[in-house]
Amino acid sequence: MSVAHRYVVVDVFTDVPLEGNQLAVFTDAAALPEEVLQRLARELNLSETVYVLAPEHGGDARIRIFTPAAELPFAGHPVLGTAIVVGIERGLAQVTLETGAGAVPVALRRGAGDGLAPTGRMERSGYGSMHQPIPTWQRFERERELLDALGVASSGLPVEVYVNGPRHVYVELAREEQVAALSPDLRALAALGELGVSCFAGSGTSWKTRMFAPALGVPEDPATGSAAGPLAVHLARHGRIAFGEEIELRQGAELGRPSLLRARASGSTDAIELVEVSGAAVIVASGEFVLG
């Protein structure tokens, strides 16, 4: 017997349809066989696909996150987008999602800040702020190979890799125009392993960033929430911004999908207390897969 499996498509880190980073969310994935999860993600071919399951540890839902090539323990725009979808459907002002990297609470609001309360009709958009896992970091040992693959001579800040589930390595360029002009050797980047490569430039609270993750099946990502939090930590650790200061990150313009992310890291280099990433999301489509 054929079974229909419902999903929605969400544009994340934007409130404008057809911008931001696309996400597919299967809102009740309990009946999906394990062997089709990766195949469905490959079929949809978005940066990530999320499967929503019953919680196991007191959260509102458990989620599994897949790129077209691999499962991830945590990723930013899938968590934010899924939390907004769950909040809209259940009328919640806060959603806690159980991920492979632990529970992630997401505070939600509608529009200018009204709570997401039941309205009797389907809302399409919302805004969320998630508390991300605190990352660890260390020097990236293959710096020269990385810079050569990017086609750049050096990084303004130390080239370090951060882990908050996925691995992200950061390269600072002097000007935003240099970030926009990047044309990396994706095969050489993929040879460095399953990690995201974030290149950024800016000052104060305004930064431009691009992220490449070819080994994960994502040549370039329109908006990378899991990289935004560690970037705030990286900038604060090295004195580019103050701890507790919120920054704006612009990403995705080169892909025709401009995105806006906000991030802040609170505490100190010796004790990071909070990593928060915020942004909007809008539901743009719904459908179903009929399998069997």
Q: Are 4 and 286 in contact (CB under 8 A)?
A: no
The SS3 assignment for 243 reads: coil
- The CB density around residue 187, as the number of other CB atoms within 10 Å, is 9
The SS3 assignment for 240 reads: coil
DSSP state letters, 170-183: EEE-S-HHHHHT--
Rounded Cα gap, residues 23 and 209, in angstroms? 20
Q: Which two tokens stand for residue 170?
A: 């950061």
Alpha-carbon distance values, 273 to 57, 75, 140, 152, 247 (Å): 23, 20, 24, 34, 17
Rounded Cα gap, residues 133 and 130, in angstroms? 10
245 an active-site residue?
no
> In 42-90, at which residue ranges do the beta strands (DSSP E only) sit?
48-53, 61-66, 71-72
Instruction: Say which of 34, 35, 48, 276 is annotated catalytic.
Output: 48
Block residue for tokens 């999903």: 7
Q: For residue 144, what is the enclosing H or E element?
A: helix 143-150
Short-list 89, 8, 76, CA closest to 283 = 8
Catalytic residues: 48
